Amino acid sequence: MSERVLHLHRHRFRELSDADLVQSVARRDKAAMEELFERHHERVHRILARLRSVDAIDVDDLVQSTFIEVQRSAARFSGQAAVGTWIVAIAVNVMRHHVRKEVRYRTALVNRGREAPSVSTASSPFEECSNRQSMARLAYAFDRLGLEQKEAFLLCDVEGLRGTEVARALDLPEGTVWRRLHEARMSLRRHLIDKEAP
């Protein structure tokens, strides 16, 4: 019986516009949230999958996080943009937060890698010493990059994402991404060539 009531309840929402659904979601209506999810989750999944090269499980988690944020933000929806556009903007912000967390995580890994004993394939003590110095200079140079340059460098050169994907994920013009990447590369190159190290 309750399953039939839920089905009838959800059927009522199929007739509503997206904006009306958001208003119902703001009033904590679960059936409205389910309908909004049904209408938009595939597009959000597709966009997030194109923004990053991550496992399907990670993309699914980001989709879920997007709709959790949709539910939290429903009361603040102003109607100035289409609901679909508003949801995509939330998804991009969720992705940006995820990317920033990854940048912090990778920065911590670089710092830990600098402290960890290195396994070297160098055939002589001189080559081993030279490799350690190069890694120290690289870690030092990376530490001195601004957050914007770190993001561009890690996403493009380490993760292998295209500039268009990074621009979408960070909500920036593509030219800005390329400028930041160029600045990061030049700064790292300068530190390596000039042998600036602590």
For 88-140, what is each residue's pLDDT tens digit? 888 888 887 877 777 676 666 666 655 655 554 556 777 777 777 777 777 77
Higher pLDDT, 150 or 61: 61
For 17-31, what is each residue's pLDDT tens digit? 989 999 999 999 999
Contact between 123 and 170 (Cβ < 8 Å)? no
Average pLDDT across the chain, whole number: 78
pLDDT attached to residue 129 = 73
Q: Cα–Cα distance between 79 and 73 in angstroms, integer? A: 12
- Please name the residue that has the structure tokens 């839920």: 6
Residue 154 DSSP one-character state: I
pLDDT above 70 covers what percent of the chain? 75
DSSP string, 122-151: -SSHHHHHHHHHHHHHHHHHHHHS-HHHHH
For 155-175, what is each residue's pLDDT tens digit? 787 767 778 877 876 788 989
Report whether pLDDT(37) > 90. Answer: yes
Residue 189 contacts by C-beta under 8 Å, 6 or more apart in sequence?
none
Q: Is 80 helix (H, G, I), strand (E, B) or coil?
A: coil
pLDDT attached to residue 196 = 46
Higher pLDDT, 128 or 74: 74
